[in-house]
Amino acid sequence: MAKGDIQVKTDALADWFNAERELVWSPAIELRQKDGLFELTAAVAGLDAKDVEVHATAEDILIKGKTAHTHESNNGTVHVCEFQSGQLFRSIHLPERIDPDSVKAEQRNGMLYLTAKIAKPATRKVDIQAA
């Protein structure tokens, strides 16, 4: 394979990743564990709280959202616009199980803040049947 062939494939892959990024936006996050809680922060600047959804299972947090940008024709000529419309999607697999009913979310200043209680290990006594 010639060196030029590798470059073409690399450029095609970069183009594919750029196209995917334009369709689905994955926000930056920080996940911290403290005092029996997980604290998750996600950067969702430009989205209203009504446009963001959070779903929780015992093992994962899913953040979804939608953003739209339009131009009104009566507001003059737009020469440059770097705003994009698209979907926000981020799935975070947690290192320990949580209680999904304990998840709380708040959005302020372009950041989404979530807290979730870490689930206590469930144990139960198992009765032994005599054979």
**Per-residue pLDDT at 9:** 57
Q: Which of 69, 120, 84 is nearest to 99 (CA)?
A: 120
DSSP alpha helices (H): ranges in 1-131? 3-23
Average pLDDT along the chain: 85
Quick count: other Cβ atoms within 10 Å of Cβ 15? 10
Mean pLDDT computed over 53-76: 88
Ordered structural domains, the chain, with CATH: 27-71+78-117 (2.60.40.790)
What's the pLDDT score for residue 70? 81
**DSSP assigned state of 98:** B
